[in-house]
Chain A
């Protein structure tokens, strides 16, 4: 999936404010760094040197530095003022973010697991709520309030083009909000080391115009359609009879386990295994047959099936749009 993953290319107010703060900090730190280096160079150039005849005497005891008190006072005052300015800028940024309207916000609940993201859309009508994984669709221009939870260890939710980082802590709920002002696909990544597959724990935020988002949400709320044809039916039977149904749920079937990602609409997602693989039948087969080759340490066991059974299973999963 082609997706934006760029801290310096903000597409929402949160990322925009953070970028401004970052630019100010960069400017101040650059000036301070340059000033310190300039002072060092001046000191080196002004340092007393032994001439060709005079013996080297580099002790400064006999020649006290002129204006010492003044330079120290100036340096301390400048540092203090600049730091205070940065603190003020940080506070104003925080206030600006807090003042952003959350009226009519979309509410999500994101739970991080080793190593994938569970996303629950919390609607005012409970029956309208639904669950997906690793791919968050949002309408453009509408604020999104995300409730963050963790299932096992500390993770961190980070979509650089839309907002700053926020940690997900086991046993503690945090919230953050963002707004995507332009449609597109934004890449997110777990930003807190969370075990062996931390690097392969990506997710995507897909910002759609409101009407396209509404169509997507309506499709996600539907339970899995009855497979048409013998092969998908056989595939569903294999899914229910083997180890798949121990961890995965497909709404509308007897598979109701919550341990792995919900697969009701798995074929509609762009990637598999939290962004590790493209969602194609070949990659899906590779993933089912031996997840440990792709994400060593992942909690999905290898499932060895005869080729025709694997074809039927993947054929069935392809129907879950």
Chain B
């Protein structure tokens, strides 16, 4: 051991700083190419459960999800896009900023149709009885996954460094990144 203590400390500090700088790389990765087209792969289909649809209604079945939101849940860019789309497509018209209104709350621990990403994806694609429109075919699957990831961030299901820390528009509730994780309970009162 010839290295002096300060030099060792300096090297360690440098390594630590490099590790800290690198750990944020993945979470902000933006995807500038088109999302993978899994249209070609055959997947099981399921009938829609709602005739409510934007513009003109479709009657064709929707496909069940491939995977469980991998690549979306851990990526801050996709979650931020989901937050933008939540506003764009007026999800807040029924769910408000997550507190619920005509539609159920999204920031609590109650999940009528399951809290897994694939289950939320299905809810958005198929629609649900009593008001949730069916968006399958009206939104790209990529966008539905982004909204799914954001919806899960609303009740603190995502990592803190992935959930949005700020809003593009007025938001009365605390930022998603600051919310405590609500342990998912099935069913709602």
Contact = CB atoms under 8 A, between A and B. Distances in A.
Contacts of B140: 243, 301-303
A241 B55 contact: yes
Contacts, number: 55
Interface residues of A, number: 24
Contact of A246 (B35, B57, B58, B139): B139
Interface in B56-87: 56-58, 84
B175 interface: no
Contact of B33 (A296, A299, A301): A296
A197 to B, nearest CB: 10
A246 B56 contact: no
B-side interface size class: 20 to 34
| Interface of A: prevailing SS | loop
A304 to B, nearest CB: 6
Interface of B: 30, 32-35, 37, 39, 54-58, 84, 88-89, 137-140, 142-143, 168
Contacts of A303: 140
B34 A240 contact: no
A46 to B, nearest CB: 53
Contact of A240 (B37, B55, B88): B55
Interface string A94-128: 00000000000000000000000000000000000
A241 B55 CA distance: 7
Contacts of A196: 32
Interface of A: 152, 196, 237, 240-243, 245-247, 254-255, 257, 259, 290, 292-293, 296-297, 299, 301-304
Nearest to B60: A241
Given A240-B56, A242-B137, A290-B34, 19 more contacts: A237-B56, A241-B137, A242-B138, A243-B137, A243-B138, A243-B139, A245-B55, A246-B138, A246-B139, A254-B55, A292-B33, A293-B33, A296-B32, A296-B33, A297-B30, A297-B32, A301-B140, A302-B37, A303-B140
A302 B54 contact: no
Contact of A259 (B39, B55, B88): B88
